[in-house]
Amino acid sequence: MDNKVMYSLSYGLFVLSARRGDKDNGCITNTAIQVTTEPNRIVCAINKSNYTHDMVQETGRFTLSILSEEADFELFKRFGFQSGRDVDKFAGFESHVKRDGDGLPYVTRGANAWLSCRVVSATDLGTHTLFLADVLDGGTISSAPSATYSYYQSHIKPKPGAAPAPSAQKRWVCKVCGYVYEGDELPADFICPWCKHPASDFEPLA
Ligand SMILES: Cc1cc2nc3c(=O)[nH]c(=O)nc-3n(C[C@H](O)[C@H](O)[C@H](O)COP(=O)(O)O)c2cc1C
């Protein structure tokens, strides 16, 4: 099978946020979907290497900010290209954050709605954990259309090569998030440090 067929699946985009003690954190996800209406439940898959994953697993709580077409690339860089283990992703972002009734943060910039969720079960998928969760609360933030993954690819993510850095080395770009690898050869077992996709999702840059 040509794995590119998987690119035809459609996804939304979200900031999934958690709070453990006084620590707020969140990561970009594209894997949240509603699975039942009665009760109102969603699932989302979070990579086990994400700091947010551990926070959700321990607290059993998270919020989802549903991203709209007004979301900018800065938002994706803040929540999707760095880890809460290394930085405070919410620092300097206070004016774009609100909290649910239990104090969990959700992002209002570039989002059109938010959900507050409680984990019902966690299924080990190997690289990811699939969290099934009850939707406890939520609200509307704006009327802007929800962003799809393909909208992100075509309108939000900078075009590969838009600002090439002069280099004597070969370069490969991650087709998923735009990360550029430089070196003699792209290792076959390379994992994108930004979006965790494998070497097969990279293509050579001229
Ligand atoms: C467009 C995009 C989609 C992503 N989708 C997912 C996803 O569905 N699941 C996931 O675990 N990580 C996903 N990521 C990667 C995480 O957002 C990223 O690894 C983040 O830096 C983890 O931060 P943390 O360690 O603070 O949790 C995505 C990143 C981008 C840019």
Does the Cβ of 148 fall within 6 Å of ligand 1? no
Does the Cβ of 177 fall within 6 Å of ligand 1? yes
Return the pLDDT at 162.
63
- Same domain? For 131 and 48 the reply is yes
- CATH assignment of the domain containing 178: 2.20.28.10
- Same domain? For 52 and 146 the reply is yes
Q: What mean pLDDT comes out for the span 129-157?
A: 96
Does the Cβ of 83 fall within 6 Å of ligand 1? yes
Distance in angstroms (rounded) separating the CA atoms of residues 117 and 120: 9
Q: What mean pLDDT comes out for the span 125-147?
A: 98
pLDDT tens-place string over residues 5-61: 888 899 999 999 999 999 999 999 999 999 999 999 999 999 999 999 999 999 999
Distance in angstroms (rounded) separating the CA atoms of residues 108 and 113: 8
Distance 168 CA to ligand 1 centre (A): 30
Does the Cβ of 195 fall within 6 Å of ligand 1? yes
- Same domain? For 32 and 112 the reply is yes
Residue 77, amino acid:
K
Find residue 28's DSSP bridge partners.
15
pLDDT tens-place string over residues 63-73: 999 999 999 99
Q: Which stretches does DSSP call E strand in 33-127?
A: 33-36, 41-47, 61-67, 97-99, 105-107, 111-124
Does the Cβ of 108 fall within 6 Å of ligand 1? no
Does the Cβ of 197 fall within 6 Å of ligand 1? no
Q: Residue whose CA is closest, atom 12 of ligand 1?
A: 29
Distance 195 CA to ligand 1 centre (A): 5
Residues 6+ apart with CB under 8 A from 40: 34, 134, 135
Q: Residue whose CA is closest, atom 15 of ligand 1?
A: 195
Task: Look at the chain and report how many structural domains it folds into.
Answer: 2
Return the pLDDT at 167.
63
Distance in angstroms (rounded) separating the CA atoms of residues 194 and 177: 7
- Same domain? For 69 and 35 the reply is yes
Distance 95 CA to ligand 1 centre (A): 23
**Tokens matching residue 119:** 């984990």
What average pLDDT does the chain have? Answer: 93
H-state helical runs in 60-167: 73-80, 149-151
- Same domain? For 88 and 162 the reply is no
Does the Cβ of 84 fall within 6 Å of ligand 1? yes
Q: How many other CB atoms are found less than 10 A from the CB of residue 57?
A: 15
- Residue 173 lies in domain: 158-205
